[in-house]
Structure 1
Amino acid sequence: MNIIGVSAFFHDAACCLLQNGILKYAAEEERFTRRKADASAPIHAMKYCLREAGLSITDIDCLAYYEDPSKKLARQIWSGILGHPGELLGSVSPGHVETQIREVLGYQGQIKYVDHHLSHSASSFYFSGFRESAVFTVDGVGEWATTTYGVGNAKGVKIFEEVDFPDSLGLLYSTITSYLGFGVNDGEYKVMGLAPYGAPGYVKQMRRLVQMEAGGKYKLDMRYFDFLAGICMYSPELAELFGRPPRMEDAEMEQFHMDIAKSLQVVLEEILLEKARYLHDCTGMENLCMAGGVALNCVANGKVLKHGPFKQLFVQPAANDAGGCMGAAAYAYVDLTGESMPVEKMKHVYLGPAYTNNDIKKFLAPTNIIYTDCTGDPDRLCTLTAEKIKEGKVIGWFQGRMEFGPRSLGARSILADPRHPSMRERINAMVKKREGFRPFAPAVIEHRAAEYFDLDHPSPFMLETCQMIADVSLPAITHVDGSARVQTVNPHTNPRFYALLEAFDRITGCPILLNTSFNIKGEPIVCNIEDAMKCFITTDIDCLVIGDFIISREENSLELLQFLLMHERSIYSTLNHNVYTFV
């Protein structure tokens, strides 16, 4: 059975293909269109999935969509969003989704609508490898639900309690994100990265924003919020509560802002821990699956596992809306076939496009770009690359299938030496072109991780933080509070990245590399060869290692400039940075 899963028309549109219950391919639409968080119908992502599987659209048995448009419309009408200036009823009507599926995606077969939080829940449980688990989903809002409590077992996934809009931990976090001058739906992870620089001096005020209730319930104090109006996330009372006006986007980052971020993180962790304990009391289960955008807060995830009652935690690596396509497809498969999903833990997310050496050679052939060809000799490729990293070079690493989800995990990555004291500042300023407080993640050989980090289990998806414990200096990947967001790498899921880590270990005695996403601020992670070349050329990356080829900037300065002039492309963003995109 071939099932296409689709998430779209909100943000982070994506498509996946499930064949007989096995996830084969998945990709976000933004990677193809180059529009950050592209919400449009994922036609490019769907074409990719079909092409790789050798299928046509008529071979698809069902298209599963990640929410119920009718329920969503009811919530939008209730909140008054259809009365906003310039809003078109047709763009949010229940029939709009089907029209897009039929006319834009070209699919005429069976459509199955799966509730948003069921899609999130299924995206975690069905790929966790657990035979039974409690399921905890927390995000901004789906149709009505913002937080749900459920269970997954052989009978499927079931939600037994929920918190409804407008009470939402995701919207609480997004409101403070906006107050701190960052973009909503885009800057929440910046707030998480800023928090360790602050002190929890505003926890008392932050707790006033949300009132805890019995069981799984809580309520926002709506005096401090204005997102129902669709113009701004917060009301003037929020600024009065904290005693300072909102920060403008380009304004100086002060200690006050860091303290607000820290206080928010503390309160979020308190609430998640309390509600996780409640969920454990209800289910008595040892395993926990988390999903939804809030589950991308890797700091909170680590606290829930370390201080909560559950023995094991699984967070699906595309826990945001993009991953909802996976859950919708899996839920539809179980519902349509009456069979269980395979009980197997997701091992990797290398589910996107790949390019061969012939593709790369063909792309480079019309240029004068000089490169080192290591075809047929991967050991030489990894050794040469490791030596360049030891010399202080920043590497663009483009290998194999692109990752699905928001993290680069050694397929589309920027790599550097974690021991270099100025490397983090250099990459933030000259390569990523982003805020200097933002941390970078370490990628470490899996069986060596416990030597350096307080981590006793694999962490392949960068979804947990832990403390650095080794008596060595790794300033480029250690955050100000001594924590790190670790990716463990084994030879089975990404043999080439593992081989590079081994080569670097042989040369330096350090089995760790700095790993960050291969993109610059405001752009999606690179997808194809041209994207990689343009990001390489327009940043301060020293070398591009693409397939079996190494391209060095110092050998190609004029040739790279000529290439850039030949391949001009504009990048646009579709995000509304002022208010959560409910439509």
Structure 2
Amino acid sequence: MRVLGISAYYHDSAAALVVDGHIVAAAQEERFTRKKHDSGFPDHAVAYCLDAAGLSLTDVDYVAFYEKPFLKFERLIETYVAFAPRGFESFRMAMPLWMKEKLMQKRLLSEQLRRRDALPADVLDGKLLFSEHHLSHAASAFYPSPFREALVLTMDGVGEWPTTSVAIGHDHRIEVTKEIHFPHSLGLLYSAFTYYTGFKVNSGEYKVMGLAPYGEPRFVDTIMSNVVDVKDDGSFRLNQDYFNYCTGLTMSNDRFAALFGAPVRSADQPLTQFHMDVAASVQAVTEEIVLRLCRSLRREYGLSKLCLAGGVALNCVANGKVWREGIFSDIWVQPAAGDAGGALGAALAAYHGNFEKPRVVTNELDAMSGSYLGPGFSQPEIETRLSSVGGRFTVLDDDALIDETVQALIDEKAVGWMQGRMEFGPRALGGRSILGDPRSPTMQKTLNLKVKYRESFRPFAPSVLREDVQDWFDYDDDSPYMLMVADVAARHRKTMSEEEKALFGIDKLNVPRSTIPAVTHVDYSARIQTVHKETNPRYHRLISRFKERTGCPVLVNTSFNVRGEPIVCSPEDAFRCFMGSEIELLVVGNCILRKPDQDPKLKLNYETAFELD
């Protein structure tokens, strides 16, 4: 059975193809259109998934959409009625779109899918299925996991009604047992603080998480006493007196700003210690809610394994706290935990849930193939594509390629690394990455300011050989998707002077804290990616060779893009980013491109090429 999954029309549109229960392909639309968080119908992603399997739309048995539009419309109407007459302006703005498109989504989906091949109107009759939003998330987390039975916790902004849901996964069945409903939402709470600190909602939440260690959580009591009421079991309610997302066009209101004593920060205003303290506070509250939920659910259901999905599951600091406390024996997080992953979940929910198809639990890491589910390019394709955009390259054999790349890293050069299939989800995992030497005390600042063109405070992640992770971090488990945070091991830390300890805020940034300062955050933490020979042998080999040369089995790994740009997909994308930034070496397949060899006329200015995220 062939099931095509689709998520679209909110943010991070995507498509995924499941054939007989096997995940064949999955990709976000933004990677093809080059429009960050593209919410439009995923034409390109659908075409890629079908082409990857050698199929046409007529070969697909079912198409599954990741949520139910009528239930979302019901929420919109009931929310307006509950808050009326407040909220009329947002209601008035939403209605035309709903009446024109979203209530007719079945017809719209059919038209969009048929358009590419000009297929007849009845080609999808009986083939369109609709999953519920949180069920799609839960399915994306449980079905690819290595667990036969697990608790499944989904936390996000909002789907139709649920914002937090609990399900039990067993073999090929998922049963939702508990829900917290809109407007009470952990995701929307975090997004309100994202908005308040001047970052873009549904995009900048990870910046708040990265900013938090620079601050002190001095507003925790203020938040817990006024904004959110949290029970011992982790259930919560938001005080709507401080929010505007039900009745207006912003996340928070003037009363919210008055509570914290400062207006909403605009994007062009500097970050101050106040904003860092606010970020630290909402992060601490989020962690406390997640921990209480996990403790109570472990006690109630007695299940030892946990699966996580939904946008809040991308909060790898909170995930790391749950792991460190040992609440569950095993934790698995869907790498595309946000709405893009809903496309995959919808397809899997249809295959296993709607049609009762059996599930095979793999003996490998999981069923995600390392999340390398996007487009890949053969060596001849790479050479043709690079030549077409004017790239000047040398083709090397595998050994020479690895050796030259390692030497460039040792020389503290920024390396663009494009190999194999593109990653599905927001993290670069060694398929579409910019790499650096973690031992360099200047690498973090250099990559942020000269390569990524982004805020200097943002941390970088370490890629570490799975077999060496315990020697370098306070962590001994799999973290293939960069969704767990743990501290750098004590033996690799550097003792700070009293003067350095007294520093506040961004002044902490330039103090080396370990022997791998480029991937050590100001609180000694790191967002770990364990690299496995089974899923990415070339990347594993590169790090292994770097270890042979330096004694360090770790590389800096950040996504291959500049700020505001989607991660690169094709060799042409990689070359443009290479020529538009200060990346010094580009490695695509077996092609090596050195910056001095390139035609200077092809240099681009990527610093202002994309809308800031």
User: Does TM, normalized by the shorter one, top 0.5?
Assistant: yes
The corresponding residue for 2:547 is 505
Shift of 1:278: 1.8
Contact 2:174 2:353 in 1 (8 A): no
The corresponding residue for 1:102 is 110
Q: 1:523 to 1:367 in 2, by over 3 A?
A: closer
The corresponding residue for 1:115 is 132
Q: 1:92 to 1:254 in 2, by over 3 A?
A: farther
The residue type equivalent to 1:313 in the other structure is I
Deviation per CA, 1:313-345: give whole Å up to 9, x if none.
Answer: 111100001001111111100134322222132
Q: How many residues align?
A: 568
The residue type equivalent to 1:373 in the other structure is V
Shift of 1:558: 1.9
Range with bigger deviation, 388-397 or 357-366: 357-366
Shift of 1:503: 1.4
The residue type equivalent to 1:237 in the other structure is R
- Of residues 84, 87, 91, the one that matches 1:83 is 91
Report the TM-score when normalising by structure 1. 0.94
Shift of 1:297: 0.1
Residue 381 of structure 2 is aligned to residue 359 of structure 1:
yes
The corresponding residue for 1:311 is 329
Contact 1:34 1:571 in 2 (8 A): no
Distance in 2 of aligned mates of 1:417 and 1:325 = 36
1:148 counterpart SS class:
strand
- Of residues 205, 218, 242, the one that matches 1:201 is 218
Q: Where in structure 2 are the equivalents of 1:142-541 lying within 5 Å?
A: 142-154=159-171, 156-207=173-224, 208-213=226-231, 215=233, 217-307=235-325, 309-344=327-362, 345-346=366-367, 347-366=369-388, 369-374=391-396, 377-469=397-489, 470-471=491-492, 473-541=515-583
Shift of 1:93: 5.5
In structure 2, list runs of 5 or more residues that go unmatched.
Answer: 81-86, 115-122, 493-513
Distance in 1 of aligned mates of 2:41 and 2:308 = 26
Deviation per CA, 1:145-165: give whole Å up to 9, x if none.
Answer: 001111110251111111100
Range with bigger deviation, 138-147 or 84-93: 84-93
- Residue identity over aligned pairs, in percent, reads 46
Distance in 2 of aligned mates of 1:238 and 1:51 = 49
Shift of 1:89: 4.2
Contact 1:195 1:265 in 2 (8 A): yes
Distance in 1 of aligned mates of 2:390 and 2:241 = 62
Distance in 2 of aligned mates of 1:301 and 1:13 = 25
The residue type equivalent to 2:241 in the other structure is R
Distance in 2 of aligned mates of 1:528 and 1:168 = 37
1:525 counterpart SS class:
coil
Distance in 1 of aligned mates of 2:39 and 2:571 = 24
Contact 1:202 1:263 in 2 (8 A): yes
The residue type equivalent to 2:161 in the other structure is W
The corresponding residue for 1:73 is 73
Distance in 1 of aligned mates of 2:373 and 2:189 = 33
1:228 counterpart SS class:
coil
Shift of 1:557: 4.8
Q: 1:571 to 1:57 in 2, by over 3 A?
A: farther
Contact 2:234 2:289 in 1 (8 A): no
Distance in 1 of aligned mates of 2:30 and 2:431 = 17
Distance in 2 of aligned mates of 1:368 and 1:177 = 41
Range with bigger deviation, 222-231 or 304-313: 304-313
Q: 1:231 to 1:545 in 2, by over 3 A?
A: same
Distance in 2 of aligned mates of 1:158 and 1:253 = 44
The residue type equivalent to 1:204 in the other structure is D
Q: 1:343 to 1:91 in 2, by over 3 A?
A: farther
The corresponding residue for 1:59 is 59
Range with bigger deviation, 327-336 or 536-545: 327-336
The corresponding residue for 2:501 is none
Distance in 2 of aligned mates of 1:455 and 1:364 = 40
Q: 1:4 to 1:255 in 2, by over 3 A?
A: same
Residue 170 of structure 2 is aligned to residue 128 of structure 1:
no
Distance in 2 of aligned mates of 1:403 and 1:94 = 30
Distance in 2 of aligned mates of 1:368 and 1:222 = 56
The residue type equivalent to 1:186 in the other structure is S
Contact 2:172 2:352 in 1 (8 A): no
Contact 1:162 1:216 in 2 (8 A): no
Deviation per CA, 1:130-175: give whole Å up to 9, x if none.
Answer: 1111111100000000011111102511111111000100000000
Range with bigger deviation, 224-233 or 425-434: 224-233
The residue type equivalent to 2:104 in the other structure is H
Shift of 1:92: 6.9
Q: 1:298 to 1:91 in 2, by over 3 A?
A: farther
The corresponding residue for 2:83 is none
Distance in 2 of aligned mates of 1:456 and 1:363 = 41
Contact 1:120 1:292 in 2 (8 A): yes
- Greater relative contact order (Cα 8 A, min sep 6): structure 1 or 2? 1
Distance in 1 of aligned mates of 2:388 and 2:159 = 48
Distance in 1 of aligned mates of 2:316 and 2:105 = 32
Contact 2:311 2:337 in 1 (8 A): yes
Q: 1:91 to 1:49 in 2, by over 3 A?
A: farther
Deviation per CA, 1:352-393: give whole Å up to 9, x if none.
Answer: 00111211221233565432211xx21110111000110111
Q: 1:238 to 1:279 in 2, by over 3 A?
A: same
Q: 1:131 to 1:392 in 2, by over 3 A?
A: same
Contact 2:234 2:291 in 1 (8 A): no
Shift of 1:215: 5.0
Q: 1:517 to 1:92 in 2, by over 3 A?
A: farther
Range with bigger deviation, 552-561 or 416-425: 552-561
Deviation per CA, 1:90-137: give whole Å up to 9, x if none.
Answer: 467554321221111126241111110011011101111111111111
Deviation per CA, 1:261-305: give whole Å up to 9, x if none.
Answer: 001111111111111122112211001111100000000001112
Q: 1:92 to 1:411 in 2, by over 3 A?
A: farther
Deviation per CA, 1:200-254: give whole Å up to 9, x if none.
Answer: 1111112121112475632101111011124111111111111111111111111
Contact 2:154 2:164 in 1 (8 A): yes
Q: 1:512 to 1:402 in 2, by over 3 A?
A: same
